[in-house]
Chains A and B, each alone.
Chain A
Amino acid sequence: MKLFFWQPWLIPLLPLVGALINGLFGKRFSKSVVASIALFFTGASLLFASVHAYTLLHSGADALETSYGTWIRAGSFAADFGIYLDHLSLVMMLVVTGVGFVIHVYSVAYMEHEGGYYRFFSFLNFFMFFMLTLVLANNYLLLFVGWEGVGLASYLLIGFFFQKDSAANAGKKAFITNRIGDFGFLIALFLLIQHFGTLRFATVFNIASSLPAETTAGLLTAIGLLMLVGACGKSAQIPLYVWLPDAMEGPTPVSALIHAATMVTAGVYMVCRSNAIFSRAPLALLAVAIIGALTSFFAASIGIVQTDIKRVLAYSTVSQLGYMFMAAGVAAYSASIFHLMTHAFFKALLFLGAGSVIHGIGGEQDMRSMGGLRKYMPWTFWTMLIATLAISGIPPFAGFFSKDEILWQAFSSPHGSKIFWAIGIITAFMTSFYMFRLIFLTFTGEYRGAQQDAHSAHADHGHVPHESPWLVLAPLVLLAVLSIIGGWVGGNRFEHFLAPVIQKVQTESPRLQVAESAAIPTSEHGEKTGESKALETSLMSISVLVAFSGLGLAWFFYVKRPELPGKIAAASGGLYKLVLNKYWIDEVYSAVIIGPLVALSRAFLWQIVDQKVVDGSINETATAVRGVSHVVRQQQSGLIRSYAGWIAAGAAVIVAYMVWMGTR
């Protein structure tokens, strides 16, 4: 029996302790104490996570499930406080604690000059707690708690600069958009309870794996589609992606941690976790793939014309999440998680690098006012270049391996199709283009912010760009290393690593699982020999070629002929405007959904339901009571003899009644 304190429940709880200490007493602490507390608890969580990962891998078990008592019991339904540690949650856990810790370190220096230092770290730790609850939960209900918790943390952190209207509104937008998704997810959970009687992962997947795959829309398809709605909200997919670009109002470390590396991948995690359900619902799976492919293409096209450095990255995140969904949608769950992991590294790095840039030039976010920053901040430049190479899918950087795996799976998987692959390739091209556009606009050429600064009277705004302190750069370097080597494990080995999670549920009986999971890799390898090997190589070279051509085009447009983009934009006219304004999606939503909803709420819910029905019923009750009272009050005359009369009359009635009863 291991020590109680040596158990995985500490992993999520440690950050909560940090959040509570900083949240309750942080105001009285100095900044260094606040930072030490936050770093200590996150670091301890990372340490524990690594220890438990090591334990799991060396125990040889597929999964370790520990329950710490019943949380809810209602009839035959029960939900536990339980931790489910398998290879999937292990990857997620290490990504969350690892990237989370690095970003905490970064924030120490980055947030130095912002108000509410303790509040920031308290929220950040709070987020870590819920995120770890989400990935470590052993049932859907606990996962949902984490799911909502990270939503709350996201809301708090997006609106961190709450004096700014835009930040407060962005927070609300994120929260409300997520509610729509959560509604779908919640109904999926209700369906699970109704038909499976439990929300425990192991049981649900066991039952699901005994069901045959659905050819038409059935129960599993319904559950899968509703889960997809939830995942769309959390992971910013069409049609609920609109909150993520606005979420960039939050501080940059928040964008890196929550809106790039961890929280937004919760939807991907959930879909992959539920692969037992999705794999048996081909229609739901197809919907996942279509939404993923569309989102990746759509968001990438918007990213091309954005000028705010963080918004480019935001749309890039949406696009990359679309990639992950596409992978999950062709039943390549391991490729999806693989990309999730590498994306966490390089996208966090890109955001942190962008933060370093914004910091270095005094808060400017518009790339048109940057340029030539390479000589001012070389560390930031090189690390961001590595991340850009990674996201563009240029070997041997991490993104190449995961993206290539996704494209290959989209092409070759039984659920895949050449259309998905084509969309993926086009998206890869656009990704490479807009990422290098960002790099070239930001770091090459001449610094364009200086003239504007000369105009402004503020002395402190007119400073030259400077490199960030080492506490900001160290996380960049660390993440850059991860962005290089993170993919070297390779798609096949990663798939083999996740096989217990993915394969187990696809077999009919649990006894077969060992044989099958052992058989899969060999058949995979056998499959990849011969012509399919050649096919894979040619697909790989196409994707690399596409990445380089994106790079080349960006170089041509933004280094060689910087006047061209403006001309093309002017020439394409309407199309450019359409993309620049993000396809008017926000406007369409506000006209089609929000406007009527507000009007309906105002005219019907407020002025009729609330004012007439709710308030009216209260007022009418009061009026009625007053009317009755007015009548009844008459007998309270204050005349003793009238009271006596009432008493006598009452007594007479009672006597008469008793006499009547007696004579009957």
Chain B
Amino acid sequence: MTIPISWYLLLSAFLFACGVMGFLIKRNIITIFMSIELMLNGVNLSFIAFATRFGTLDGHIFVFFVMVVAAAEAAVGLAIIISVYRTRETLNVDRVNLLKL
């Protein structure tokens, strides 16, 4: 018995929505950061689901790319977070608003 693809997609959409919600609601940068990872993984799940469903490798390759980018992003992002914390002594995004007019 195979699980229908729509289940995978629903789970993927759920994970993505969770990520979006977390991104929008949370104030802590680290939590926001994790929400982004969650969104990426939600997308990854739908890629894998389609790849398995159609029996091709394209989806896998996309997922690898996303993971590589996510890893790089995590490294850069964490570095930025650390430097933000060092200069601002807070991780609340609402207070990191130098770009605001």
Contacts and interface: CB of A to CB of B under 8 A. Distances in A.
Interface string A634-646: 0011111100110
Given A636-B101, A648-B20, 5 more contacts: A639-B97, A639-B100, A641-B23, A641-B32, A648-B24
B94 A645 contact: no
B99 interface: yes
Contacts of A648: 20, 23-24
A639 B94 contact: yes
A641 B93 contact: yes
6 contacts: A636-B101, A637-B100, A638-B97, A641-B93, A645-B24, A648-B24
Interface in A463-521: none
Nearest to B100: A638
Nearest to B29: A640
A638 B101 contact: yes
A605 B32 CA distance: 63
Interface string B19-38: 01001100000001000000
Contacts of A636: 101
Contacts of B97: 638-639
A645 B20 CA distance: 9
A636 B101 CA distance: 8
Contacts of A639: 93-94, 97, 100
The contact size tier of chain A is: under 10
Contacts of B96: 640
B55 to A, nearest CB: 25
A162 to B, nearest CB: 54
B99 A644 contact: no
Contacts of B23: 641, 644, 648
A636 B97 CA distance: 12
Interface string B83-101: 0000000000110110111
A644 B97 CA distance: 14
Contacts of A641: 23-24, 32, 93-94
Nearest to A651: B20
A102 to B, nearest CB: 76
Interface in A618-657: 636-641, 644-645, 648
Contacts of B20: 648
A639 B99 CA distance: 8
A636 B99 CA distance: 10
B24 to A, nearest CB: 5
A427 B96 CA distance: 96
A639 B24 CA distance: 11
Contacts of A644: 23-24
Nearest to B20: A648
Contacts of A637: 100
A639 B100 CA distance: 7
Nearest to A638: B100
A639 B93 CA distance: 8
B33 to A, nearest CB: 12
Contacts of B99: 638
A-B interface, 5 closest residue pairs, ranked by CB to CB distance from nearest: A638-B100, A638-B99, A638-B97, A648-B20, A645-B24
Nearest to A645: B24
Interface in A422-442: none
A648 B21 CA distance: 9
A640 B24 contact: no
B35 to A, nearest CB: 10
B82 to A, nearest CB: 18
A119 B94 CA distance: 72
B16 to A, nearest CB: 10
A636 B96 CA distance: 15
A639 B98 CA distance: 9
Nearest to B13: A655
Interface string B60-81: 0000000000000000000000
Interface string A125-157: 000000000000000000000000000000000
Interface in A372-394: none
Nearest to B94: A639
Nearest to A648: B20
Contacts of B24: 641, 644-645, 648
Contacts of B100: 637-639
Contacts of B101: 636, 638
Contacts of A640: 93, 96
Nearest to A640: B93
A641 B93 CA distance: 8
A560 B23 CA distance: 116
A588 B1 CA distance: 109
Contacts of B32: 641
The interface centre, meaning the residue of B20, B32, B96 with most chain A CB atoms within 10 A of its CB, is B20
A644 B36 CA distance: 11
B28 to A, nearest CB: 11
Nearest to B27: A641
B80 to A, nearest CB: 12
The interface centre, meaning the residue of B32, B96, B99 with most chain A CB atoms within 10 A of its CB, is B99
A645 B93 CA distance: 14
Nearest to B25: A641
Contacts of B93: 639-641
A77 B96 CA distance: 70
A641 B95 CA distance: 12
A59 to B, nearest CB: 83
B90 to A, nearest CB: 14
Nearest to B101: A638
Nearest to A655: B13
A639 B92 CA distance: 11
Nearest to A642: B24
A644 B100 CA distance: 15
B59 to A, nearest CB: 20
B98 to A, nearest CB: 8
Contacts of B94: 639, 641
Nearest to B32: A641
B22 to A, nearest CB: 11
A636 to B, nearest CB: 7
A648 B24 CA distance: 9
Contacts of A645: 24
Interface in A531-580: none
A645 B97 CA distance: 16
The interface centre, meaning the residue of A639, A640, A645, A648 with most chain B CB atoms within 10 A of its CB, is A640
A304 to B, nearest CB: 81
A313 to B, nearest CB: 75
A638 B32 CA distance: 17
B57 to A, nearest CB: 27
A537 B89 CA distance: 120
Nearest to B23: A644
Interface in B26-56: 32
B81 to A, nearest CB: 13
A633 to B, nearest CB: 8
A644 B26 CA distance: 12
A206 B100 CA distance: 78
A638 B96 CA distance: 9
